[in-house]
Chains A and B, each alone.
Chain A
């Protein structure tokens, strides 16, 4: 995949939405909840696909801090104090590009594990 490069990252709606505009003209509104539950941190992703955790109860999470990492990524801090995810430009693009599929998969995974968007808990 060609490397994607954003022009602008804009945090709006009091940290609830991260708007990312890429140089190729595409722009995505990524919700803090979506970014949080899809965090690339090992705490969420684990080290293998089997280890991946499904995180529930993040409907109202907000982003409190954006810290650039080099020129290739940002580290996001959420108001539930999760701050170990480093989101590369490519990953943000992928999250935007594949939002429909990824989000449905997340909802299915929540249901399968008996979790909900409103009740804290992870499996």
Chain B
């Protein structure tokens, strides 16, 4: 049995990297393993001196082989580790992280609502298609973790493909589409806090190959909670569209939504009154199921634009559920025209450049 002590004793005859201090005392021995008469020794040296120290390596190897009981000896030079960089402290280079914007995407807008069930996703999809009909290149991103509905609204059943490590968005009716619904199981309840939502959203913004877009329409989760606030703070939004029914109960929540966007300085492009009234397909009679005009009054009161009203209509519901939104299914209809009219106002507001660019942040 060869012992470590014997090995170190015999290595005393070999000068270390500095040419005089015996190797065992030079502090250069980085590793020593002895097994079944085989000795493995590694010596740490500065990488640029490796060639010059080849002679030392050979001498150490020969010295080891003189030891009785040593069958083979292998000595290797390993590169000395540079002192680890301190991660915190004055020496650390200041860094800049970014708000999430996407190169190639001119602007991102959010479609939001204070509460669920007001037709936010249906509105988002129809507005996206109407903006596209006006000549813009459009993407739709469904971030509604509580009820991702884009797959159904656009009848998208396939999974997005990955090419060159980029997720390829799906295409429907000329718009690019991506949904959080592709990333989670439809039957699993989603219990995510803000950071988890952000991680998923970040991936859908950064890792999806959106290409060149004039506008990306983001379907926000309903409400004004943690997830919504995180999204509004971290995505570089050019503006937000609030969807509400005319019902007082819904308007209270819409007000909260507007307050949230005001708080984070995202311009509110306006309010859309959805399910504004009901036109009976049989008798043609009009019923103001959730009262009427509430959103218009609210918009006036809050000083944000009123973008228009969309009736509660069977046609809109049926086309939405069938995956052929009314703007493409029945472009001649009055409902489609209502969406186009709203889209035109949104486009005008965005083109007016009421939104301001974030400042440059530089680190010298």
Which residues of the other chain, B, contact A66 by a CB distance below 8 angstroms?
94-97, 361, 363
Q: Assess the A70–B264 pair: CB atoms within 8 A.
A: yes
The 7 tightest CB contacts between A and B, nearest first, are A72-B265, A12-B364, A68-B99, A6-B359, A71-B358, A15-B94, A67-B97
A-B contact count (CB 8 A): 85
Contact of A62 (CB < 8 Å), options: B90, B266, B360: B90
Binary interface profile of B, 68-98, with partner A (CB < 8 Å = 1, else 0)? 0000000000000000000011101011111
Contact of B356 (CB < 8 Å), options: A5, A63, A64: A5
Contact of B95 (CB < 8 Å), options: A9, A62, A65: A65
Sample 23 A-B pairs with CB under 8 A, ordered by A number.
A7-B360, A8-B361, A9-B359, A9-B361, A10-B363, A11-B361, A11-B363, A13-B364, A62-B90, A63-B94, A64-B88, A65-B96, A65-B97, A66-B96, A66-B97, A68-B99, A68-B358, A69-B264, A71-B266, A72-B264, A72-B265, A73-B265, A81-B88
The answer, yes or no, to whether B191 is at the interface (CB within 8 Å) is no
Which of B7-15, B38-46, B228-236 touches A?
B228-236
The answer, yes or no, to whether B362 is at the interface (CB within 8 Å) is yes
Say whether chain A's binding surface is mostly helix, strand, loop, or mixed. strand
How far is it, in angstroms, between the C-alpha of A118 and the C-alpha of B96 when the chains are bound? 28
Question: Which residues 234-277 in B have Cβ within 8 Å of A in the complex?
Answer: 234, 236-237, 264-266
Q: Assess the B94–A62 pair: CB atoms within 8 A.
A: yes
Q: Nearest Cβ in chain A — how far from B80, in angstroms?
A: 28
Q: Assess the A68–B232 pair: CB atoms within 8 A.
A: no
Which residues of the other chain, B, contact A64 by a CB distance below 8 angstroms?
88, 92, 94-95
Say whether chain B's binding surface is mostly helix, strand, loop, or mixed. loop
How far is it, in angstroms, between the C-alpha of A5 and the C-alpha of B359 when the chains are bound? 8
Q: Nearest Cβ in chain A — how far from B129, in angstroms?
A: 27
How far is it, in angstroms, between the C-alpha of A7 and the C-alpha of B88 when the chains are bound? 29
Q: Assess the B356–A71 pair: CB atoms within 8 A.
A: yes
Count B interface residues, CB 8 Å: 27
Which residues of the other chain, B, contact A68 by a CB distance below 8 angstroms?
97-99, 358, 361
Given contacts A70-B234, A72-B264, 20 further A-B contacts (CB under 8 A): A8-B359, A8-B361, A9-B359, A10-B363, A13-B364, A65-B96, A66-B361, A67-B96, A67-B97, A68-B97, A68-B99, A70-B99, A70-B266, A71-B99, A71-B237, A71-B266, A71-B356, A73-B265, A79-B88, A89-B359
Binary interface profile of A, 1-40, with partner B (CB < 8 Å = 1, else 0)? 0000111111111110000000000000000000000000
Identity of the chain A residue whose Cβ is nearest the Cβ of B363 in the assembled complex? A11
Q: Assess the B264–A11 pair: CB atoms within 8 A.
A: no
Q: Nearest Cβ in chain A — how far from B97, in angstroms?
A: 5
Q: Contacts A70-B233, A70-B264, A71-B99; is A11 near B362 (CB within 8 Å)?
A: yes
Contact of B90 (CB < 8 Å), options: A9, A12, A72, A79: A79
Which residues of the other chain, A, contact B233 by a CB distance below 8 angstroms?
69-70
Q: Assess the A70–B236 pair: CB atoms within 8 A.
A: yes
Identity of the chain A residue whose Cβ is nearest the Cβ of B233 in the assembled complex? A70
Which residues of the other chain, A, contact B356 by a CB distance below 8 angstroms?
5, 71
Q: Nearest Cβ in chain A — how far from B159, in angstroms?
A: 32
Contact of A8 (CB < 8 Å), options: B98, B266, B362: B362
Q: Nearest Cβ in chain A — how far from B237, in angstroms?
A: 8
How far is it, in angstroms, between the C-alpha of A17 and the C-alpha of B95 when the chains are bound? 14
Identity of the chain A residue whose Cβ is nearest the Cβ of B357 in the assembled complex? A71
The answer, yes or no, to whether A107 is at the interface (CB within 8 Å) is no
Which residues of the other chain, B, contact A69 by a CB distance below 8 angstroms?
99, 233-234, 264
How far is it, in angstroms, between the C-alpha of A71 and the C-alpha of B89 when the chains are bound? 28
How far is it, in angstroms, between the C-alpha of A68 and the C-alpha of B99 when the chains are bound? 6
Q: Nearest Cβ in chain B — how far from A24, in angstroms?
A: 13
Q: Assess the B234–A10 pair: CB atoms within 8 A.
A: no
Contact of A79 (CB < 8 Å), options: B92, B234, B264: B92
Identity of the chain B residue whose Cβ is nearest the Cβ of A11 in the assembled complex? B363
Q: Assess the A7–B359 pair: CB atoms within 8 A.
A: yes
How far is it, in angstroms, between the C-alpha of A69 and the C-alpha of B230 when the chains are bound? 10
Which residues of the other chain, A, contact B234 by a CB distance below 8 angstroms?
69-70
Question: Which residues 68-103 in A have Cβ within 8 Å of B in the complex?
Answer: 68-74, 79, 81, 89
Question: Which residues 89-112 in B have Cβ within 8 Å of A in the complex?
Answer: 89-90, 92, 94-99
